[in-house]
Copies of this chain bind each other. A is one copy, B any other.
Amino acid sequence: MSRFLNSRYSALEPYTPGEQPKVTGRLIKLNTNESPYPPAPGVLEVINNQELQKLRLYSDPAASELTAAIADFYGLKQEQVMVGNGSDEVLAFIFMAMRGSNDVIYYPEISYSFYPVYCDIFHAHGVKVPLREDFSIGASDYFNLDGTIIITNPNAPTGRALTLDEIESILINNEENLVVIDEAYVDFGADSAAGLIDRYDNLMVVQTFSKSRSLAGARIGFAMASSEIIADMNKLKFSFNPYNLNRLSILAGTEAMKDREYFEDTRSRIMETREKFVKEMREMGFTVLPSKANFVFAASDRISGEEYFRELRKYNIIVRHFSDSRICNYVRITIGTPEEMKSLTDATRQILSKR
């Protein structure tokens, strides 16, 4: 630490992103929940020579074409959508300022591990709400709280989802609190709360282009809420980084959002692959939590999570392991192509046979 960093930031523990290995050649990368499929074909066409020439010009700070495409997809008004440089930036603005009068933010004990880091950097008071015994989120545990509530749905790294009715019950029982539903993984089997926005003015829905839109490398996230909440979010964006989205990502995101057929096709394939994979893993004796995401959370009593993670590495397969004591026996496995999942189950069979 240099002597110039303000002491309030000296104990900051940054987020550790999943490994992004440079050589992806022979590697089966199932550790950061990316899509195994390339972006929609239109994305590859719209980033052409003419658009590359225009990189000399600033991007549209309002990213109007992109917010219009998102609003159209979800049947919202454009002023109900705000875009960020990945949903991480959107979440950062929420933790910084959308925290009511007492700076308290509630989130599940086991969830996106960035939440406590945001609390730390923005000096918010984070309160962890325990999961139920089966790793599910208990909706009633969030009733009548006294601060902002953030819930990942489906939750990560468990993959378990709340129903829309459960989310609605949380909204009804928190009229004075902002309820943020982080729907990074919602397109793989859960229901989006976006349709509730016009009925609940305390709801904000956050999504990303990194998973179901095959654009992790373009860094696009967005928030949907009442136009009043979105105006607040844009006030923060325009006080932090007005041109937060680059020209090419605006183009790519707009195309990806417009191509509904490709979106439906790829997410269906991923869900299909997941169901087959879960069945096979259970047949090998794994405990696999019911997943509505593009990953599964799995554990075996024949091998520890850490060892399984290390053994898979020898087969050039990367998955994700967390050291937190309640989940350290599990690994989180991204759903890749059917071929990639076959390599993983083959490797797993071999690993288990040696024990």
Binding site for B on A (CB under 8 A): 1-9, 12-18, 20, 22, 24, 29, 32, 34-39, 43-44, 47, 49, 52-61, 85-86, 88-89, 92, 97-101, 103, 117-118, 120-121, 148, 176-178, 201-202, 210, 214-219, 226, 228-229, 231-232, 234-249, 252
* Chain B residues closer than 8 Å to A54, beta-carbon distance: 217
Whether B56 and A239, one on each chain, are in contact in the complex, defined by CB atoms closer than 8 angstroms, is no
Selected contact of A148 from candidates B4, B20, B218, CB within 8 Å: B4
Whether A252 and B55, one on each chain, are in contact in the complex, defined by CB atoms closer than 8 angstroms, is yes
Known contacts A1-B228, A44-B49; A243 and B88 CB within 8 A of each other: yes
* Chain B residues closer than 8 Å to A1, beta-carbon distance: 228, 231-232
Known contacts A4-B148, A248-B248; A56 and B238 CB within 8 A of each other: no
CB-defined A-B contacts under 8 Å, sample of 11: A1-B228, A5-B235, A6-B98, A6-B101, A7-B101, A12-B239, A44-B49, A86-B243, A88-B243, A217-B247, A248-B249
User: A229–B22 Cα gap in the complex (Å)?
Assistant: 26
* Chain B residues closer than 8 Å to A243, beta-carbon distance: 17, 86, 88, 216, 219
The 9 closest A-B CB pairs, nearest first, are: A14-B238, A217-B247, A4-B178, A56-B214, A219-B246, A2-B228, A55-B217, A38-B53, A121-B239
* Chain B residues closer than 8 Å to A6, beta-carbon distance: 97-101, 103
User: A148–B4 Cα gap in the complex (Å)?
Assistant: 8
User: A303–B129 Cα gap in the complex (Å)?
Assistant: 65
* Chain B residues closer than 8 Å to A247, beta-carbon distance: 217-218
Whether B4 and A244, one on each chain, are in contact in the complex, defined by CB atoms closer than 8 angstroms, is no
Given contacts A12-B235, A39-B52, A85-B241, 5 further A-B contacts (CB under 8 A): A4-B229, A12-B236, A20-B59, A121-B236, A218-B246
User: A232–B29 Cα gap in the complex (Å)?
Assistant: 30
Whether B85 and A56, one on each chain, are in contact in the complex, defined by CB atoms closer than 8 angstroms, is no
Whether A244 and B92, one on each chain, are in contact in the complex, defined by CB atoms closer than 8 angstroms, is no
Within the complex, the shortest CB–CB distance from A42 to chain B, in Å, comes to 11
Whether B241 and A89, one on each chain, are in contact in the complex, defined by CB atoms closer than 8 angstroms, is yes
* Chain B residues closer than 8 Å to A14, beta-carbon distance: 234-235, 237-239, 242
* Chain B residues closer than 8 Å to A210, beta-carbon distance: 58
Within the complex, the shortest CB–CB distance from A293 to chain B, in Å, comes to 16
Whether B241 and A88, one on each chain, are in contact in the complex, defined by CB atoms closer than 8 angstroms, is yes
The chain B residue sitting closest to A99, CB to CB, is B6
The chain B residue sitting closest to A179, CB to CB, is B4
* Chain B residues closer than 8 Å to A53, beta-carbon distance: 38-39, 44
User: A57–B4 Cα gap in the complex (Å)?
Assistant: 35
Within the complex, the shortest CB–CB distance from A147 to chain B, in Å, comes to 10
* Chain B residues closer than 8 Å to A246, beta-carbon distance: 85, 217-219, 246, 248-249
* Chain B residues closer than 8 Å to A252, beta-carbon distance: 55
Within the complex, the shortest CB–CB distance from A247 to chain B, in Å, comes to 4
User: A44–B48 Cα gap in the complex (Å)?
Assistant: 9
* Chain B residues closer than 8 Å to A18, beta-carbon distance: 58
Known contacts A4-B229, A121-B239, A202-B4; A24 and B55 CB within 8 A of each other: no
Within the complex, the shortest CB–CB distance from A156 to chain B, in Å, comes to 15
Selected contact of A17 from candidates B61, B86, B219, CB within 8 Å: B61
* Chain B residues closer than 8 Å to A17, beta-carbon distance: 58, 61, 238, 242-243
Whether A57 and B121, one on each chain, are in contact in the complex, defined by CB atoms closer than 8 angstroms, is no
